[in-house]
Amino acid sequence: MLNPADLLLYLCTDRVLSLGRPITEAVEEAVAGGVTMVQLREKAASTGEFYRIALEVQAITRRFHVPLVINDRLDIALAVGAEGLHIGQSDLPLSAARRLGGTTLFIGVSVSTVKEALDAQAAGADYLGVGAVYPTGSKADAGEAIGLEGLAGIRAAVGIPVVAIGGVNGANAAAVMGTGVAGIAVISGILSRPDIRAAARNLRMILDEAAARG
Amino acid sequence: MLNPADLLLYLCTDRVLSLGRPITEAVEEAVAGGVTMVQLREKAASTGEFYRIALEVQAITRRFHVPLVINDRLDIALAVGAEGLHIGQSDLPLSAARRLGGTTLFIGVSVSTVKEALDAQAAGADYLGVGAVYPTGSKADAGEAIGLEGLAGIRAAVGIPVVAIGGVNGANAAAVMGTGVAGIAVISGILSRPDIRAAARNLRMILDEAAARG
């Protein structure tokens, strides 16, 4: 079951963008700094390697009581018993993932249009990753930026929690939260910083202040 | 449930080795020629693409009453309702796949040593893919050839059906079957031939003769 509060500061991993630091070390620093949810993305790993890394990262997320979400791979999510699965538009159809995920696995879906958002909500998505809000180099397949207006439009069209992704950083996080999203998803804004823990802590403070203001 | 007789002529797909012909066309020609089981391998496809291709190939295998096996990806196997899953030494651990695969999905495992074979049998494998028997260019990760003696040694060490893979062709298929294996797995010996159906038919005839003698 998804607790929407866990979406506040959502780290998506990326081996390239973490500047060569081991993914376990990077995740531990990030959750110690205040990340509330971790999505493990391993686009180049073999299945066996992904499985082993997922178990290693899970040892950290469990210690910090932070949900672990597996990107794309339902088999890995089920095999390690992750809390969530995140799928994009070129992954398994949500209906198939939903059917196989049972009652405990929550599922998030990446969308960039109101239609995709409504389709995902209708098919049973637990939350939406919406973006790219701003232009970003982190995801080659992120498409054109939708801006704050695009984000607000999708947010208003659905009843499930929305996480903003794509170019969100300390300078714009408060404005992004102002659209009523449940949180922000960050890759390079945390992983590519020299001090991962400090970067996470700084973002978390901004988000907590934005949430306090309402 | 696996019917060991279905292992007789086992086609493993490969987009590169099928010489640019669509995978559906190649599979249809192969099963029309006498292939008794099809393993779909898609190492480069996105999950969504793999899922769609699997459904397309399944429409053919169902029409011909030939089991469909998905390589590596338990999520795809479960999502399309394939008959089998095949895993290698760098895929999901067999114990995890077995636990998630339920009672209907059969699982094969690639092995190249007696130890790997005994481990896979102990962990609940339904059949073993054993090789490479002969040197082959079809699989970059196939390792050194084990020869007929290596194949026979593994075959004798286990009680579950064995399929021979790696460089098996019309010239050596009878000798390979003489080791007591349930069948042969073929990639380029079928997919890289100008006439896929004729290549499958020729191999099938050799196997049927070997089985009748043996």
- List pLDDT tens digits, range B159-203: 999 999 999 999 999 999 999 999 999 999 999 999 999 999 999
Across the interface, of B47, B87, B93, the residue whose CB is closest to A92 is: B47
- List pLDDT tens digits, range B78-116: 999 999 999 999 999 999 999 999 889 999 999 999 999
ipTM of model over 0.95? no
pLDDT tier, B139 (very low <50, low <70, confident <90, very high otherwise): low
CB contact under 8 A, B47 and A96: no
Computed over its alpha carbons, how large is the radius of gyration of chain B?
16
DSSP per position, chain B: ---GGGGSEEEE--TTTTTT--HHHHHHHHHHHT--EEEE--SSS-HHHHHHHHHHHHHHHHHTT--EEEES-HHHHHHHT-SEEEE-TTSS-HHHHHHHSTTT-EEEEEE-SHHHHHHHHHTT-SEEEEE-SS--SS-TT--S--HHHHHHHHHHH-SS-EEEESS--TTTHHHHHTTT-SEEEESHHHHTSSSHHHHHHHHHHHHHHHHHH-
Task: Just give the CATH number of B4-213.
Answer: 3.20.20.70
**B97 contacts chain A (CB < 8 A):** yes
Q: Is there a catalytic annotation at residue B43? A: no
Residue with tokens 């973490």: A18
In this prediction, the residues of chain A whose per-residue pLDDT falls under 50 are none
What is the pLDDT, as a whole number, of residue B145? 95
User: How near does any CA of chain B get to the CA of A114, in Å?
Assistant: 21
Between strands A162-165 and B106-111, the pairing is unpaired
What is the pLDDT, as a whole number, of residue A136? 83
Beta bridge partners of A186: A11
**B102 contacts chain A (CB < 8 A):** no
What is the pLDDT, as a whole number, of residue B15? 84
Across the interface, of A48, A75, A87, the residue whose CB is closest to B90 is: A48
> Which chain A residues have a beta carbon less than 8 Å from that of B73?
47, 75
Name the DSSP letter for residue A76.
Answer: H
User: How near does any CA of chain A get to the CA of B46, in Å?
Assistant: 7
Distances (CA, A) of A22 to A54, A67, A75: 13, 20, 23
- List pLDDT tens digits, range B33-82: 999 999 999 989 999 999 999 999 999 999 999 999 999 999 999 999 99
pLDDT at B142 over 60: no
Task: State residue B187 phi and psi, 5-degree precision.
Answer: -115, -85
What is the pLDDT, as a whole number, of residue B18? 84
**A102 contacts chain B (CB < 8 A):** no
What is the pLDDT, as a whole number, of residue A19? 85
Return d(Cα A139, Cα B1) in angstroms, integer: 42
The structure tokens listed for B129 are 């893919």
CB contact under 8 A, A48 and B93: yes
What is the pLDDT, as a whole number, of residue B19? 85
Closest by CA to A211, choosing from A29, A63, A40, A34, is: A34
Residue B173 near residue B3, CB atoms below 8 Å: no
What is the pLDDT, as a whole number, of residue B181? 97
Least confident of A171-175, B16-20, B99-103, B146-150: B16-20
Average pLDDT of the residues in B20-29: 95
Return d(Cα B193, Cα B137) in angstroms, integer: 15
